[in-house]
Amino acid sequence: MRKDINIVEVAKKANVSIATVSRVFNNSGKVKESTRRKIEQIIEETGYYPNILARELAEKKTSLIGMIVHNMTGEGMPRAINGVSEVLIKRGYNLLIACTNGVFENEQKHFEIFRSKRVDGIIFATDKFLTAHERMIKKLPIPVLSLLQVTEKENIPFVSFDNYRFAKEATQKLIELGHSRICFIGGPESSVNGLERFRGFTDALKEAGIKINKDLIINGNFHVEDSYHKMKVILDRNRDFTAVITINDGMAIGAINCLEKHNILVPDQVSVLGLDLTVLASTSRLKLSGVQYSYETLGEKGAEILLNLIESEDTLFDKYIVPYDIYLRESVSCRSKSFKP
């Protein structure tokens, strides 16, 4: 086994200064061509490679960013990670990712692991932001950005969606089309974003003077198959409705499949709208109506804000809400007569 060689020994073999070896290795600065070839030959023969860790410790910078995510299922989070990665690569950083499945103890462990790895900053993509998270972050000597969750604290930047606002506006659009008996198929009660969307839905009904019917509200788990079954539960309870709002487009597809299985026409008898539009929406027979926002933008803005915090001498804790659009397509129509068996 060949013994590791350091830059001092390479310089001695080439009879040049350490600085000259460094310029050759990093391809920076002027070096006489014959000297460059000589040094390159010694590097090749000895297998010399600089001690990156030692250099990083000296510079107090590793160019590593840690990202803690609650899960990597579905379409959204992988797209957000892609957005983060693209920005980091362009600016000379590398990404380490840890998945916690939303377990607090796992989150705590990975914060400590990333701290020991001396990452320059952390992106925390969680399904809920707790006081305990804030306490953990305050102990860290590096900046942390919250992705997906709005934080009230001035010293914790975030990039998120306005779940409440777009859910409220989408509901208002259905009300404007004459729908007053609207079902809502939501997400797990543990999902903060899901709860915000539900709050937007109920507030839109209240402001329009529409009574909330609990028979038309049910929680799901974000998946197509689950939404099919949840739509069937609502059908068994109460068929006096003309529209359905689901927490995402996958559940909108599940609801449509269930309605059509039971000979209920979409959108002629019932309109369906999902509170996001991803690639999955293109698999629907009908052009799906819903709210469109970019997970890539979520990741890109998160990475940009975090890197600006790391690289800037000014402490600027940015807060950014990703823009959105609401599209009414083939799965939504003006109110028709309610259907009853």
- The per-residue pLDDT for range 121-169, each reduced to its tens digit, is 999 998 888 889 988 888 888 999 999 998 876 678 999 999 999 999 9
Its pTM surpasses 0.85: no
Q: 57: helix, coil or strand?
A: helix
User: Tens-digit pLDDT profile for the chain (341 aa)?
Assistant: 345 567 778 888 888 887 888 778 766 667 888 888 888 888 777 776 665 545 554 556 788 999 999 988 777 899 999 999 999 999 999 999 999 988 999 999 999 999 988 899 999 998 888 889 988 888 888 999 999 998 876 678 999 999 999 999 999 999 999 999 999 999 888 888 899 999 999 999 999 999 999 999 999 887 788 889 999 999 999 889 999 999 988 899 999 999 999 999 999 999 999 998 776 666 677 888 999 999 999 999 999 999 998 987 565 668 899 999 999 999 999 875 444 43
pLDDT (tens digit per residue) in 42-94: 877 777 666 554 555 455 678 899 999 998 877 789 999 999 999 999 999 99
pLDDT at position 192: 87
Percentages helix, strand, coil for the chain (3-state, rounded to 5) are 45, 15, 40
CA distance 168 to 196: 10
User: Residue 235 corresponds to which tokens in the numbers above?
Assistant: 């059908």
Q: What angle do CA 177, 180, 185 make, to 5 degrees?
A: 100
- List, in order of start, the domains of the chain with CATH numbers: 7-50 (1.10.260.40), 59-161+294-323 (3.40.50.2300), 163-292 (3.40.50.2300)
Between the alpha carbon of residue 41 and those of residues 4, 6, 48, 141, the distances in Å are: 16, 15, 11, 43
d(CA 175, CA 224): 25
Give CA separation, 300 vs 35, 72, 156, 297, in Å. Answer: 43, 17, 17, 5
The pLDDT assigned to 280 comes to 66
C-beta of residue 7 within 8 angstroms of C-beta of residue 18 = yes
